[in-house]
Amino acid sequence: METGRIIKIISNQYLVLCGNIKYSCIAMGKLRKGKSPIVGDLVEIEHFDKQSGIQKILPRANELRRPPVANVDQAIIVMSCKDPDFSATLIDRLLFQIVYHGITPILCVTKTDLITESDPIYETIKRYQDSGYQVFTSSNKEANKDLIACLKDKITVLTGQSGAGKSSLLNRIDPSFHLQTQEISKALGRGKHTTRHCELHEIAEGWVADTPGFSAMDFTYMDIAKLSDAIPDFKPYLNHCRFRDCIHLNEPDCAIRDAAANGTLPKERYAHYQEVVAMIQQAKRRR
Ligand SMILES: Nc1nc2c(ncn2[C@@H]2O[C@H](COP(=O)(O)OP(=O)(O)OP(=O)(O)O)[C@@H](O)[C@H]2O)c(=O)[nH]1
Ligand SMILES: [Mg+2]
Ligand SMILES: [Zn+2]
């Protein structure tokens, strides 16, 4: 038995890194009944005559659903200033998903070459920074050094809409990378959604998952209390509501609603929370 990490999955072949050696493995029979292995999983493998097989998935520290990656240290929300349009609503929806899974969120605003210095996007960025989030910016000119430094020794997931520049960002950080980006797929007539599978790439002394962009997000599995407990902006106010089971909507003496009303908590973050909670409640009613 040897322990390694799944760094790539192509149909039913799993590429497992053990030390410096990569083994192409299949999932053994007894695994198929339980949960399926995903990228980032630590697994026990066994070598046979002609092939290697995954015998066991070790317990996961955490697990993202979209993209499916296990044992993630941090997730970078990649949001472009333009093409596609900047959206704080989308940032917060991704943010909620990430913190819900106990993963550290980081924001990277790309394509700053497409806006001017006085663009209101910079005020939004400042509000995220004031709330304690780590925010990087990037343009087509060079790779952001602070961003590179934050990847070291970590498993990082890039997430964001198709065309936000996730693959381009990795190509700029490591010029030996040649991940396909949309310019190339346009030339090949493939259109949107250039990145099609999930893979961990060794980059800047860490591991980064470039993932496909997505079009819809699922919140229906979420527990509202667990979500509100996980939102970093809410933390300072959490135990100050009148009711212990407050979900911070219409309850009297809600510290979070009050904080949003007087501006100590960013109003938009609270509004985005209300929207997501409404989606969760609607889905629960339909069941
Ligand atoms: N002007 C400008 N364009 C950029 C920048 N970064 C990426 N782009 C362009 O944006 C387009 C999309 O970039 P990709 O890297 O393919 O986007 P992606 O997020 O990987 O997209 P999917 O794989 O489909 O999810 C390409 O045409 C890039 O050349 C940037 O900093 N500035
Ligand atoms: Mg891509
Ligand atoms: Zn409350």
- Find out whether the beta carbon of 166 lies less than 6 Å from any atom of ligand 1: yes
Q: How far is the CA of 227 from the centre of ligand 3 (A)?
A: 13
Q: Would you say residue 166 has pLDDT above 70?
A: yes
pLDDT in tens, 183-209: 655 555 545 555 567 789 999 999 999
Region 228-255: what's the mean pLDDT? 96
Q: Is the C-beta atom of 127 inside 6 A of ligand 1?
A: no
Q: Is 110 in the pocket of ligand 1 (CB under 6 A)?
A: yes
- Nearest atom within ligand 1 for CA of residue 160: 19
Whether residue 217 lies inside any domain: the answer is: no
CATH number at 184 reads: 3.40.50.300
Minimum-distance ligand 1 atom for the alpha carbon of 114: 1
Count up the domains in the chain and report the number.
3
CATH number of the domain enclosing 252: 1.10.40.50
Q: How do strand 21-27 and strand 52-57 relate by DSSP bridges?
A: parallel
pLDDT, position 213: 66
User: Average pLDDT in the 24-43 region?
Assistant: 89
Q: Are residues 188 and 102 in the same domain?
A: yes
* pLDDT score for 34: 79
- As a whole number of angstroms, the distance between CA 7 and CA 256 comes to 41
Query: Considering 152, 179, 210, which residue would you say is the last residue of a domain?
Result: 210
Mean pLDDT of 36-64: 94
Task: For residues 40 and 79, state if they share a domain.
Answer: no
pLDDT for the residue 65: 79
Q: Same domain for 153 and 92?
A: yes
| Closest atom of ligand 1 relative to the 193 alpha carbon | 24
Q: Is residue 215 part of a domain?
A: no
Same domain, 88 and 203: yes
Q: Is 193 close to ligand 1, i.e. is its CB under 6 Å away?
A: yes
Q: What is the 3-state secondary structure (H, E, C) of the chain?
A: CEEEEEEEEECCEEEEEECCEEEEEEECHHHHCCCCCCECCEEEEEECCCCEEEEEECCCCCEECCCCEECCCEEEEEEECCCCCCCHHHHHHHHHHHHHCCCEEEEEEECHHHCCCCCCHHHHHHHHHHCCCEEEECCCCCCCHHHHHCCCCCEEEEECCCCCCHHHHHHHHCCCCCCCCHHHHHHCCCCCCCCCCCEEEEECCEEEEECCCCCCCCCCCCCHHHHHHHCHHHHHHHHHCCCCCCCCCCCCCCHHHHHHHCCCCCHHHHHHHHHHHHHHHHHHHHC
- Give the model confidence (pLDDT) of 89-136 as tens digits: 999 999 999 999 999 999 999 999 999 999 999 999 999 999 999 999
Pair 45, 73 in one domain: no
Shared domain for 22 and 159, answered yes or no, is: no
Query: pTM of the entire structure?
Result: 0.90
Same domain for 202 and 243, yes or no, is: no
* Among protein residues, the one whose CA lies closest to atom 13 of ligand 1: 165
- Ligand 1 atom nearest residue 83's Cα: 10
Same domain, 119 and 230: no
Q: Say whether both 41 and 108 belong to one domain.
A: no
pLDDT for position 269: 97
Which CATH number fits the domain that encloses residue 19?
2.40.50.140
Predicted local confidence at residue 181, as pLDDT: 77
68 lines ligand 1 (CB under 6 A): no
Q: Return mean pLDDT, the chain.
A: 90
Considering only CA atoms, which of 226, 214, 236, 237 is closest in space to residue 280?
Answer: 226
Confidence (pLDDT) at 187: 52
Domain extent at residue 162: 64-210
Domain boundary among 210, 242, 277: 210
Ligand 1 atom nearest to CA at 140: 31
- Domain end, chosen from 164, 187, 210, is at 210
Whether 70 and 188 map to the same domain: the answer is: yes
Nearest ligand (C-alpha, residue 259): 3
- Shared domain for 99 and 149, answered yes or no, is yes
Question: Is the distance from the beta carbon of residue 167 to the nearest atom of ligand 1 less than 6 Å?
Answer: yes
Domain shared by 21 and 55, yes or no: yes
Ligand 1 proximity of 97 Cβ (cutoff 6 Å): no
Domain-located, residue 230: yes
Which ligand number lies closest to the CA of residue 213? 1
